[in-house]
């Protein structure tokens, strides 16, 4: 059975990307990273998604980054509440490059043929490491970097949501039967999503455009009544 490494943050996008891999018949091997993010709640979600999608293996890996440089890791920097055209303070230097590199080390060791990542370039936050040309360049590096690839075998980095908007991602997830109540997008941790950070705004707007209600919001309301 063909194998895929899925980079799973615990958010919607990587969960949908993993569901795509599952639907294509891959057996799934997951990596989730604890890099000191404020939204460590997403790691709990990643575990639930991995269980739900019947991953063969799922590793939670501690990654060591300097916390100062991002509002997502520095306790003294506030998470923003506005989506801007600029790269926001939640940007984490080198994050996707490091995560994909871990993915390729794991993929070669497993003899997996594909790495799935949930990044998208439409309703995203202006991060340089979420752009199509970044992914294309990384593929070129993979083609040179590994014993596997220089001996003619393929390892393909796939970002199946790269050109989808958030509402399209949600619809695709629902088509694949994904339970979005398992996922966590908020940049904070807590009982319920904050609703005001950029990640919450993009998620809520996605559900609204898709004509749906976020089950996380729903769940919370049900619990409160």
Residues that bind its own copies (CB under 8 A): 59, 61-62, 64-66, 68-69, 87, 91-98, 100-102, 104-106, 108-110, 128-129, 131, 133-134, 137-138, 140-141, 144-150
Q: Return the residue matching tokens 């269980």.
A: 51
Report the residue number, 6 or 92, with the smaller CB distance to its own copies: 92
Query: Which of residues 31 and 210 has its CB atom nearest to its own copies in the complex?
Result: 31
- Coil/strand/helix, residue 4: strand
CB closer to its own copies, 69 vs 218: 69
- Whichever of 74 and 189 has its CB closer to its own copies, that residue is 74
To its own copies, the closest distance from the beta carbon of 165 in angstroms equals 23
List residues bridging with 166 in a β-sheet: none
Least gap, CB of 168 to its own copies (angstroms): 25
Dihedral (CA of 142, 37, 42, 121) sign: negative
Q: Of how many residues is the chain composed? A: 225
Token reading at 191:
């009982």
* Distance in Å, CB of 131 to its own copies, minimum: 7
Distance in Å, CB of 173 to its own copies, minimum: 27
Question: What residues contact residue 144 under an 8 Å CB cut-off, 6+ apart?
Answer: 150
Nearest CA-CA partner of 99 in 65, 132, 75, 122: 65
């Amino acid at each position: 059975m063909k194998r895929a490494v899925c980079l799973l943050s615990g958010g919607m996008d990587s969960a949908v990307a993993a569901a795509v891999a599952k639907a294509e018949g891959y057996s799934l091997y997951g990596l989730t990273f604890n890099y000191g993010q404020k939204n460590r709640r997403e790691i709990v979600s990643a575990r639930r998604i991995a269980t739900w999608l019947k991953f063969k293996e799922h590793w939670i890996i501690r990654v060591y980054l300097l916390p100062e440089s991002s509002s997502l890791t520095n306790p003294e920097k506030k998470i923003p509440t506005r989506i801007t055209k600029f790269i926001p303070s939640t940007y984490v230097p080198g994050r996707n490059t490091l995560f994909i590199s871990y993915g390729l080390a794991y993929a070669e060791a497993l003899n997996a043929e594909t790495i799935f990542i949930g990044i998208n370039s439409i309703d995203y936050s202006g991060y340089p490491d979420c752009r199509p040309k970044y992914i294309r360049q990384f593929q070129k590096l993979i083609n040179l970097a590994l014993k596997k690839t220089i001996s003619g075998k393929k390892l393909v980095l796939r970002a199946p949501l790269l050109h989808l908007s958030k509402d399209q991602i949600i619809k695709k997830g629902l088509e694949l039967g994904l339970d979005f109540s398992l996922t966590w997008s908020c940049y904070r941790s807590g009982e319920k999503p904050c609703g005001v950070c950029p990640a919450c705004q993009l998620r809520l707007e996605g559900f609204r455009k898709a004509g749906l209600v976020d089950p996380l919001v729903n769940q919370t309301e049900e619990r409160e009544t």
